[in-house]
Amino acid sequence: MSVDTANPPMEAVASTGGNKDLATRALIVGLVGLGIALIGLMQGWRAGDSRPMLGWMIGVSYWLTMGIGMLFLLMILYVFDAGWSVIVRRQLEHALSGFKWVGLIFLPLIALSFFYPQNDAVPWIWMDPANITPGGEPVGGDILHQKKSGFLNVGFFTFRTIFYFAVWIGLAGILRRCSFTMEKDGDPKWARLAHNVSAVGIYLCALCATFAAVDWFKSLEYHWFSTMYGVWFFAESMRAGLAGTMVLCWILATRGYLKGIYNRYHSYLLACLMLAFTVFWAYISFSQYFLIYNANIPEETFWYNIREMNFDGTKNSWWWVSMGLVFAHFLFPFLYLLWYHNKFDRRALFIAVWILVFHSLDIYWNILPGQIPSDENILGFVVRPFVPHWVDFFTWLGVGGICVWSFILSSRKVKHIPIRDPRIVESLNAHE
């Protein structure tokens, strides 16, 4: 590779004008999408149907996991004093400005469940002791819930969720403040402070992400338990965060302000991280499956059984989703990213978009299948099938619009790359 000294167009660095038109359009898309989804949510609420609420959770989780991944990535880059990533880091900081809005959009789920846990639309069935579990027993008489109720009760659940968001929004805010203040006074002490905050923040964020995954997703089937679940959530978040970063940088480098700044080497390293976390995701997802498969205990295996077959052993719709995850969410990106030439330009963009598409499938697979009590068969429940709902789509669209709007708004406030960062020259000249 040739030694190409980056020659950033200075007017692009100096100006801080974002695309006003695009920001407005993104905000309109966001508000309209959320408005339509909210109608669906209210309809479901009145009818006692939990599917729209799950759809809302799926739509928000898609972007929330991406944000958590980006927050982790930001802190990891700080902790390792990474030099190459300084110009990418600023884009992460802008993207994290959307965290508070995502938190606000998540709020209806928590508020409705907190005030009206008896409503049948609440997806977490343990919230109401009168709810019937598969088999006909009410939650209140279920020993497995009684033993867990010290942790799994509505008050503590709501408090925890607020705490997670406080930690995420707080960490994102502190790290943004450090970086943006350094832009003004040029004092490298802000880089050291961000480094130290990240060192503590990684632990905090890891704990919050783990417990959030347990609370929101795993407790949908509160009988089930797996110590790998939080790690899965982290791995999936990192994959979504890295793929989102790759797409973001590609857009900014081809038609935005990173033209001539974001180079091949930045793309190469992001793609290497994507490969690493693709392997990591497969490793922990398979480990979880493998241990439960080998132990073969009914308390654990049912969670995979409902994702594979109907009561009579025939394959249900989730089996195809599972195969999609194995082959399209792992095997294809893994083999594709092994090739050096696939880590640049459009080829890297392609796999990033691919991962983001199948990211939605993984979110569906973890949230949606559930046991709905029924007398139809001998098991006493039917599995909620894999059928996308329009609330999923409009929530996804709405949160996405809000995130894009928030990004553009934040990118107008400071310079597009942190030109006073101690490692900015290293990042601009990054090469193999």
Partner 1 sequence: MRALHMGTITNRNVLFNFERPPNRNMSKTYGLIATFGNTHSLYQAAEEICEAGFRHWDVYSPFPVHGLEGAMGLPRSKVPTFTLIGGVTGFITGMLIAWYMGEFDFPLVVGGKPYFSPIFPFPVAYEMTILLASFGAFFGMFITNRLPRHHHPVMDFKKWPGITDDQFLILLEARDEKFDLDETRKFLETLKSLEVVELKE
Give the count of residues interacting with partner 1 (CB under 8 A): 13
The CB-side HSE value for 432 (13 A sphere, CA atoms) comes to: 9
413 φ, ψ (degrees, to nearest 5):
-75, -35
CB of residue 307 to partner 1, shortest distance in Å: 15
Residues 333-372 vs partner 1: string with x where CB under 8 A? -----x-x--------------------------------
CB of residue 431 to partner 1, shortest distance in Å: 6
CB of residue 296 to partner 1, shortest distance in Å: 6
CA distance 159 to 110: 10
- Our CB check for partner 1 shows the closer of 341 and 346 to be 341
Q: Is 87 exposed, middle or buried (0-12, 13-18, 19+ CB in 10 A)?
A: buried
CB of residue 379 to partner 1, shortest distance in Å: 20
Q: What is the DSSP letter of 217?
A: I
- Our CB check for partner 1 shows the closer of 39 and 338 to be 338
CB of residue 244 to partner 1, shortest distance in Å: 28
CB of residue 2 to partner 1, shortest distance in Å: 5
- Our CB check for partner 1 shows the closer of 286 and 354 to be 286
Q: Is 286 exposed, middle or buried (0-12, 13-18, 19+ CB in 10 A)?
A: middle
Stretch that binds partner 1, among 1-9, 97-105, 305-313, 348-356 (CB under 8 A): 1-9
Strands 381-383 and 371-373: antiparallel
If you write DSSP's letter for every residue of 321-379 in order, what string do you get? HHHHIIIIIIIHHHHHHHSGGGGSHHHHHHHHHHHHHHHHHHHHHHHS--EEE-SSSTT
- Our CB check for partner 1 shows the closer of 161 and 322 to be 322
- Our CB check for partner 1 shows the closer of 159 and 327 to be 327
Among 2, 17, 185, 346, which residue sits at the site for partner 1 (rule: CB under 8 A)?
Answer: 2
CA distance 132 to 141: 10
CB of residue 295 to partner 1, shortest distance in Å: 9
Q: Sign of the CA dihedral 163, 166, 168, 170?
A: negative
Q: Within positions 273 to 332, which residues make up the interface with partner 1, using CB under 8 A?
A: 286, 289-290, 293-294, 296
Q: State CA 170 to chain mean position distance.
A: 17
Instruction: Give residue 136's region: left, alpha or beta (phi > 0; psi -120 to 50).
Output: left
CB of residue 325 to partner 1, shortest distance in Å: 15
Helix (H) or strand (E) holding 199: helix 189-212
- Our CB check for partner 1 shows the closer of 217 and 286 to be 286
CB of residue 319 to partner 1, shortest distance in Å: 15
Among 1, 10, 143, 378, which residue sits at the site for partner 1 (rule: CB under 8 A)?
Answer: 1
- Our CB check for partner 1 shows the closer of 288 and 410 to be 288
CB of residue 324 to partner 1, shortest distance in Å: 18
Beta bridge partners of 381: 373
CB of residue 326 to partner 1, shortest distance in Å: 11
Q: Within positions 78 to 117, which residues make up the interface with partner 1, using CB under 8 A?
A: none
- Our CB check for partner 1 shows the closer of 31 and 272 to be 272
Q: Which residues contact 31 (CB under 8 A, 6 or more apart)?
A: 398, 401, 402
Hey, what are 223's tokens? Answer: 């009988």
Q: Sign of the CA dihedral 328, 285, 363, 254?
A: negative
- Our CB check for partner 1 shows the closer of 290 and 350 to be 290
Distances (CA, A) of 69 to 66, 129, 226: 5, 35, 21
Residues 413-432 vs partner 1: string with x where CB under 8 A? ------------------xx
262 φ, ψ (degrees, to nearest 5):
-75, 120
- Our CB check for partner 1 shows the closer of 2 and 314 to be 2
Hey, what are 128's tokens? Answer: 């109401």
- Our CB check for partner 1 shows the closer of 32 and 269 to be 269
CA distance 224 to 230: 14
Contact residues for partner 1, defined by CB under 8 A: 1-3, 286, 289-290, 293-294, 296, 338, 340, 431-432
